[in-house]
Structure 1
């Protein structure tokens, strides 16, 4: 059964997914979208403030989306999003890190006769450490639409 707007309540939380990051994908993503030395060159990265190769924050956000789709959105009656608020990258993601996500419904409101909007905080974690967070402004179909 899909998750519809009416199924959401403020305060609902869920933890889901795992995604293990590889050195190769960090470099591949960065070469195409964020070719800074600490994302693409292990030697230069070793001399950076990070002390080694790290994923681009944009890559971290993209991997978060993968975990979010696999663990939550694929079984929800979502109809897209209006954007994200408060995107933050707290700690770098490194090769070998395994990401998971935690969602929390912060607010819900009727958007139209057919859709409702939920503000959902998503925290990306490596073990117990939050490495990224954002608030997705997600549209969900209403059950009766």
Structure 2
């Protein structure tokens, strides 16, 4: 188990990959983001997307699936997140894309009010199969501090 003290500013992690399917794009869009360019090739062709594109929120969900999948093998004492800063969708995500998710720790701060936790800020980058950035954000994660030896 990795604790707050084990995290180092500047450390980089490649969390893994996600293969985007047309079926998932349509299913997500129907349920959560039913805009025409996420639901129809014809409607998307009339936009700057040019063809069916995934919702940005779907891209976030796929990214989270990759991160959580990695963390199920590389356990951390995470306590959830109070939020995300500076979320940017940089390029469309299309059916057939392979997304790669990586992160870099940019800051760590012990809690002033709760000595048993700290927060980690990570820049998360998502690229497609061509190495083109499609999304980036700064995540804030709360983590347990290493328990004192008894």
Q: TM-score range by the shorter chain?
A: over 0.9
Select the residue among 117, 135, 139 that pairs with 1:136: 139
SS at match of 1:52: coil
Aligned partner of 1:114 in structure 2 is: 116
2:38 aligned partner: 39
Query: How many pairs are equivalent?
Result: 144
Structure 2 gap ranges (5+): none
Q: Distance in 2 between matches of 1:125 and 1:140?
A: 26
Q: Give the CA deviation at 1:16.
A: 2.4
Aligned to 2:27: 28
Unaligned runs of 5+ in 1: none
- TM-score between the two structures when normalised by the length of structure 1: 0.94
In the TM superposition, what is the alpha-carbon distance from 1:72 to its structure 2 partner?
3.4
Q: Secondary structure at the match of 2:28?
A: helix
Larger Rg: 2
Counterparts of 2:142 and 2:13 in 1: how far apart (Å)?
18
Give the TM-score normalised by structure 2: 0.91
Q: What RMSD in Å do the two structures reach over aligned CA positions?
A: 1.3
Question: 1:32: how far off?
Answer: 1.1
- 1:47 shift after superposition: 2.1
CA offset at residue 34 of structure 1? 0.9
Q: Which moved more, 1:70-79 or 1:114-123?
A: 70-79
